[in-house]
Structures are given as structure tokens and as C-alpha cells.
Amino acid sequence: MSRKGCLRLATVVFVALWCVSLLPGVVLAQNPAAATSGVAATGKHNMTMDDFLRIKEIEDAQISPEGKWVAYRVGTNNLKDDKYQKRVWMVSTSGGDAIPLTRESESSSHPRWSPDGKYIAFLSAHEEGKSGEESKKQVWTLRREGGEAEQLTDTIQDVDDFAWSPSGDRLVLVLKDPAPEEIEAAKNKEKEKDNDAEQAKPKPRPWVIDRLFFKLDEIGYLDHRRKHLYVFTLADHKLTQITSGDYDDTEPAWSPDGRSIAFTSNRTEEPDRNFNADIWVARADNTDQGKSLVRVTTKPGTYESPAWSPDGKWIAFTSQVEPKLFWYATTHLSIASAMGGEEKVLTQKLDRNVTSPRFSPDGKWIYFIDTDDGTQNLLRIPTAGGETSQVIAERHMVNSFSILADGTLTAAISGVSQPAEIYLVAASRELRKLTATNDALLAQLRLPEVEYVRFKSKDGTTVAGYLYKPVDYKPGVRYPAILRLHGGPTLAYLEELIPDPQFLAANGYVVLAPNPRGSIGYGEDFCKAIFADWGNKDYQDDMAMVDYAIARGIADPDRLGVGGHSYGAMSTNFIIAQTNRFKAALSNAGEFLYITNWGADEYVREWEYELGLPWENRAQWEKLSTFNSATKIKTPTLITGGDIDWNVPIANSEQMYATLKRLGVPTMLIVYPGEYHDFVRPSFVADLRIRMLFWFNHYIKGEGPAAPPQKSSE
């Protein structure tokens, strides 16, 4: 159920041995000669598991104030430590090789230029303490000319976010109230300094819980420790708290004159019972910890991502004006006076989800990213309202951007066969690629042909999706096909290189990646069509893509598989309880018996908004729950999940496994220790995909065992 991915293999673990010793041609192909001939003919090879995990992810493009450099974040996999890590890089806008700014062994993110362009600040847990535990995430700075990074902040808790003031003399920090353990650890650290004594380990404490919204994946149990804003003065390292209360204050944005800070906060009477969020403004020199604030937005709804106009009179932000629909509602671009007042929705006619609003330096335009028809575009609209225009032509996915006074932009842009890279977008809208992070890898690979296709669903609704053909595709030949379903439910497959379909296509499968009703990018009516009605219209749309691929003579109707993660796993569960067309299924972190999730997952509010309270509307809960159709399931199903997933607790996977096992349906449960909803340990990311391929190959192609051989060391 998440609106919330993963990459690489540690060579020291057993799954790496599979890639070398068990899989002919290193592509999990059953015909080594075929795999080898593909390499001989083109000098390239199909994507292997090692390739899958070598793909690097680029985000957060930030151009320097004078326009000569772009800083950005690269996500990669540390093979030695079996960790996914982030690193800050920099590239010249004139071209040339990219330069790593932070160490490969450390995880760093959120690069931000100082207003004078002399420094780059970033977040990093830069060093390890004597106990071997990571230090707290702090703000570090680097001189652009080079040198060692210097730690700027030294708080006892993590710094969650920061922003430079316009004059560069201050930072605004987002800090969560420290836990008792953090306070105790800080005291012990001081004692260690004074007495050179061994640091005592903080004693565990019970969780004391009295909130309605009381747990969150990757965080754990929630108490009343909240995130607040602090102003940090660079000259004396003085830290001043400017907001307070039993609310979370996030997304700080400085006013152009440096006197005020806009931020996002749900300050309703009972914030745990709704999805409200408003834009507020606090004085940067506030001494009352935010008791005197200006409320910019006043209507119910979710208002986020504040951005100031250059003259400081206006604030742009995103808005969901249908709060009862929560994530099914379209996120619009709106604007209001910085002093508060009636907000104006600028993109009502657009009916597409908007993120990342930014004013042009002259204040005449607001730039933003929107999701539309399987793409993520960079658009702009006049500040006074009017028609939107696309800044970059053609189909692509923009995941971040920044803009200069002369209109020059930098953006991280990807395509279906190209992982994101950094591009320079001149005022003339000419696009120039600056980085080549994944080019050497891509030059070695034979990638599949990917089509963005449209087809009719059962009721006549037009639906779209991505169709991946096997790398060795020959017209007129029918191939085994995998229906790969996205999560969310309100996510979508977009114009980006997605490793899972690429990997399956490299191993001889047609991959069908539909954007059924519930997906974003096709308007609010399309998205909300599945509200409280999962497994109905979206099921019809998913099946329509299967029928479309069969009708085109591409997919073999007798060799079909289905699988997905999160809501994609829920969709998989719906499907195999309604049809026996599929020979194999993968359900990764899916839900099965919905009543089990009430109070056990992080969606206590979403369940009530969509299905009602379970003791008041139990029939609806039971109607949608796949558990009640379990006896109809005949499809061999591989069930997987993380043991500390609080988004979709592992109990769902355990119940589904126990049910299918008892019913005699071929099944297997794989539980990954220490993993949340989205896996990050490279060896587990690899293990899941390898098991998926063995399962599909066995039950769909009739090849090999259903699971990889167990190593003697396991």
C-alpha cells in the first residue's frame, strides 16, 4: 500500500556464486550457446544480475549560483559492506569528468550551494564513534576549490533537512526532539571527554504510546517527539529554536530578505486523524519558538512544498483540494499572499499531479514537475495564471531541477533505456548531457525494445502501459509473459529505466507494465476510480493488457506469470483469486486478510478514510479481502517480505503462505531479516530477483528447479 526502490549484489555472499556458477552465460539462460552467440554478434550481452545491481541512481540536481557547476547525489551499492549508499558529486556545466566530493565509504546526500557559490553543504553521518556505531547525520561543508569536508553542525540528534539563508550567514535546520537515549548518550560523551572514561551504552526504555498515528515504517513507534525548525548562525554556531508544539514542522524555505521562513505543518486540533497540512510563516529571529505565526493556507487539505516569489510577496505551493480523497486526489499548483489570504489554484484545468514548484528569478513564471501519461515533465505557468507550457520536449522523466537568473536549468532526466543523468537546459531549451554515470555499463548491454502502448479495457476505458519485448525478440514468435504490477496504488510506470522488467526481458520474457485505473498521470477521475473498490476496474485494466499482448501475437497465453510489490502484490493476490490463467505468481510485501492490518500497519487513517472503521463497515473490509477467496487460488505463488516491514507487516505474507500451504497450492515463503518495506541490502535485493526468476522459469517455462540450490554454508 505504499507510495514509496533498490539495487546490487555483495560479492562476498552466496548469491554472487549463483550468478557465476549456476547461471549459464551469467544471464540465468538455460541455453549457454544462445547467450554466448548474442555477445559474439554484437559485442554486448543481456542484462545480468550483476549489471542489474551496478546501475547507479542520480537525483537532486543543484546548479551553482554563477552557473559553472552542478552538484548532485549518486546512489550506489557498496559491495564490500553490503549496503546501499549515497555520494555527492559535481560536474562542470562546460563539460568534462564528474568529480566525487564525498567519500565512497560514507553516505552523503542533499547537496546545497552557499549563496556565494564558494561552499557546498550536505548531510552526512561522516564518521564512526568508538563503539562502531554511526555518528548522527550532520551538515558538512566543502570548499568548491577542494579540500577536506568540515563538520558544521553538532547536534545530539540527526539533522533531517536544512536550507541556506539568502545572505549565507545562517542555516535553518529541521531537528526532531531528541530521544532520552540521545540525551543520555550526549551526556556520556561529555563525561568521556572530561574523564577519558569508557562510554556507557544507554539503557533501553519501554515505548510509551498514546497517539492514534503511532507507527511508521523505517522509523518505528511514534511518540510526541516532533520535528521543529532551528536557525543556526555560522559565525558563532548558535542554535535558536523558532517553532515548537506537538506538531511536525518541515520543508523550510527562506524569504528573499532572510527575515522569514515558510514551512509545512499540520497544526489542527487532532493532526493524527487527518491529512491536513498548511503553509505557515515564522520570523527567522523568533524568540517565542513559533507562538506567533502567519498561517498562509486556511482551507482543509494538504498544502506542501512552499516556494517564495523573488519579491517576497507570494508563496507558491502544492495543494490537494479534496482532502477526503487523500492520495487519490490530484495535487495542484497554487499561490497565495505571504501574509495569508485566499489561495488561487493555477493548474485546475491541467488535472495532473504537481511537485517541486519554483519561481523563475524574474518572478514571471512558476516552474514545476508534473506526472502525465507515463512521463514526468518539467512545465511552467505564468505567475498570474494561464496556460502551461512544457520546458523540455519529448517523452522523459525529470526527477529534480534547479534554475538560474538567466533561465538556465539543470535537471536529472531519465528514459526507458537510460538511467537518470544530469542535463543542462539552456534558455533556448536546448538539452545538453553533462554526466555519463551509467554510460560505460549501458555500452555493454543489449536492452529490450520498450513500447508505450494503449488498449481498451472491458468497459471501453482507454488504458496505457509499457510493453517490454525480449532482447532476442523475433516477430511472429509468442513468448512467455510476465504481468508486472506497480505499487501505490497511486503510483505509475514512468519513462525511466526500471531494472526488474529489463532483467526479465533479458531472460526471455515479454513484460507487461500497465498503468491501470488508480495510477497517477491520467487525471483525478481515473485515479479515484478504484477508491474503496480494489481488484475491480484495475483488475479489468490489467487483464486487458494481457489480452492486448496476446492479440498482437507477442505473448503466449499458455505461459503467463504475474507479480508485484506492495499494492502490486495486492493486485497479484486479487488476480490469482479471480483467474487461473497464470502459471506462477510473485507476491512481495502484499496484503491478504485486511482486518489484520488495522492497528498493525501505518495506515490507521487511510483505512478509515477509504473503507471505514472495521467494526462499523466490516462487510466492505471482508468483500475486498483476498483471504475470503483463498480457495479459488490455484497458481503456484512465491511469497516474500521483510521481517520489520511496518508498512505492510510480514503477518500478511505469513497468513497467505499458511493458507496456500494448507490448501495444497505450491508456495514458498521467503522472509528477509532486517528489511523494511523497500529492501536496501544489496544481497537481499539480488536474492529476491534470483528466486523470482527460478520460480517463473520452473512454473512458466518448465525449466530447472523452483528455487536456487541451497548452499552448504546457509
Name the pairing type of β-strands 445-446 and 450-456. unpaired
Q: What is the dihedral of CA 297, 311, 305, 299, to 10 degrees?
A: 10
* pLDDT value at residue 7: 29
* pLDDT value at residue 123: 96
- C-alpha grid cell, residue 324: 477526503
Residues 111, 119: Cα–Cα separation, whole Å? 10
* Residue 543's CATH number: 3.40.50.1820
Domain termination site, one of 205, 225, 245: 225
Distances in Å between the Cα of 132 and the Cα atoms of 127, 154, 199 are 9, 18, 12
Instruction: Count Cβ neighbours within 10 Å for each residue of 104-113 and write b for 16 or more, e otherwise.
Output: eebbbbbbbb
Q: Is the pLDDT of residue 23 over 70?
A: no
Please indicate, yes or no, whether residues 47 and 182 belong to a single structural domain of this protein: no
| In-domain check, residue 132 | no
| In-domain check, residue 371 | no
Please indicate, yes or no, whether residues 525 and 674 belong to a single structural domain of this protein: yes
- Please name which of 467, 477, 438, 612 lies closest in space to residue 546, comparing C-alpha atoms: 467
Helices (H), 418-566: 439-442, 499-506, 524-528, 537-551
Mean pLDDT, rounded, for 491-511: 95
Q: Is the pLDDT of residue 168 over 50?
A: yes
Q: What phi and psi values does residue 199 have, to the nearest 5 degrees? A: -70, 125
* pLDDT value at residue 57: 95
Residue pair 668/707 in contact (Cβ under 8 Å)? The answer is yes
- For the full predicted model, state whether its pTM sits above 0.95: no
* pLDDT value at residue 192: 64
Mean pLDDT, rounded, for 553-580: 98
Residue pair 593/624 in contact (Cβ under 8 Å)? The answer is no
* pLDDT value at residue 92: 95
* pLDDT value at residue 10: 29
Q: Is the pLDDT of residue 20 over 70?
A: no
Domain count of the fold of the chain:
2
* pLDDT value at residue 179: 84
Lowest mean pLDDT among 34-43, 104-113, 392-401: 34-43
Domain carrying residue 210: 178-225
Work out the pLDDT band at 77, boundaries 50, 70, 90.
confident
Within 13 Å and on the Cβ side, how many CA atoms surround 232?
Answer: 20
Residue pair 6/16 in contact (Cβ under 8 Å)? The answer is no
Q: What is residue 459's three-state secondary structure?
A: coil
Mean pLDDT, rounded, for 608-613: 96
Helices (H), 318-450: 439-442
Residues 126, 128: Cα–Cα separation, whole Å? 7
Residue pair 227/248 in contact (Cβ under 8 Å)? The answer is yes
As a whole-number percent, the residues of the chain with pLDDT over 70 amount to: 90
Q: Cell 563539460 belongs to which residue?
A: 95
Q: What is residue 191's three-state secondary structure?
A: helix
pLDDT in tens, 448-473: 999 999 999 999 999 999 999 999 99
Q: Is the pLDDT of residue 680 over 60?
A: yes
Q: Is the pLDDT of residue 27 over 50?
A: no
Q: What is residue 536's three-state secondary structure?
A: coil
User: Is residue 705 reached through a cis peptide bond, with omega within 30 degrees of 0 on the bond before it?
Assistant: no
**Stated length of the chain:** 714
* pLDDT value at residue 6: 33
The distance from CA 157 to its chain's CA centroid, rounded to whole angstroms, is 24
Please indicate, yes or no, whether residues 48 and 183 belong to a single structural domain of this protein: no
Q: What is the sign of the dihedral through the CA atoms of 493, 499, 501 and 505?
A: positive
Residue pair 442/473 in contact (Cβ under 8 Å)? The answer is no
More confident residue, 15 or 186: 186
3-state SS, 280-319, equals: EEEECCCCCCCCCCEECCCCCCEEEEEEECCCCCEEEEEE
First to last CA, the chain: 32
Q: Is the pLDDT of residue 658 over 60?
A: yes
- C-alpha grid cell, residue 354: 504537481
Q: Is the pLDDT of residue 297 over 80?
A: yes
| In-domain check, residue 660 | yes
Please indicate, yes or no, whether residues 462 and 608 belong to a single structural domain of this protein: yes
Residue pair 497/505 in contact (Cβ under 8 Å)? The answer is no
Q: Is the pLDDT of residue 131 over 50?
A: no
Q: Is the pLDDT of residue 18 over 50?
A: no
| In-domain check, residue 513 | yes
Domain termination site, one of 210, 225, 240: 225
Q: Is the pLDDT of residue 713 over 70?
A: no
**Amino acid letter for position 554:** I
DSSP state of 206: -
| In-domain check, residue 634 | yes
Residues 581, 512: Cα–Cα separation, whole Å? 15
3-state SS, 561-584, equals: EEEEECHHHHHHHHHHCCCCCCCE
pLDDT in tens, 387-414: 999 998 889 999 999 999 888 899 999 9
| In-domain check, residue 603 | yes
Residue pair 56/419 in contact (Cβ under 8 Å)? The answer is yes
- C-alpha grid cell, residue 205: 526504555
Work out the pLDDT band at 195, boundaries 50, 70, 90.
low
Q: Is the pLDDT of residue 289 over 80?
A: no
As a whole-number percent, the residues of the chain with pLDDT over 90 amount to: 79
Residue pair 589/645 in contact (Cβ under 8 Å)? The answer is yes
pLDDT in tens, 340-368: 989 999 999 999 999 999 999 999 999 99
Q: What is residue 184's three-state secondary structure?
A: helix
Please indicate, yes or no, whether residues 658 and 516 belong to a single structural domain of this protein: yes
* pLDDT value at residue 134: 61
Domain termination site, one of 225, 247, 280: 225
Residues 262, 250: Cα–Cα separation, whole Å? 9
Mean pLDDT, rounded, for 242-266: 96
Q: Is the pLDDT of residue 202 over 80?
A: no
| In-domain check, residue 510 | yes
Mean of per-residue pLDDT scores for the chain: 89
* pLDDT value at residue 109: 93
- Please name which of 525, 529, 537 lies closest in space to residue 351, comparing C-alpha atoms: 525
Work out the pLDDT band at 40, boundaries 50, 70, 90.
very low
Name the pairing type of β-strands 450-456 and 479-485. unpaired
| In-domain check, residue 43 | yes
Q: Is the pLDDT of residue 627 over 80?
A: yes
Lowest mean pLDDT among 236-240, 290-294, 343-347, 532-536: 290-294
- What is the C-alpha radius of gyration for the chain, rounded to an integer number of angstroms? 26
- C-alpha grid cell, residue 278: 498548511
3-state SS, 259-270, equals: CEEEEEECCCCC
Mean pLDDT, rounded, for 33-60: 73
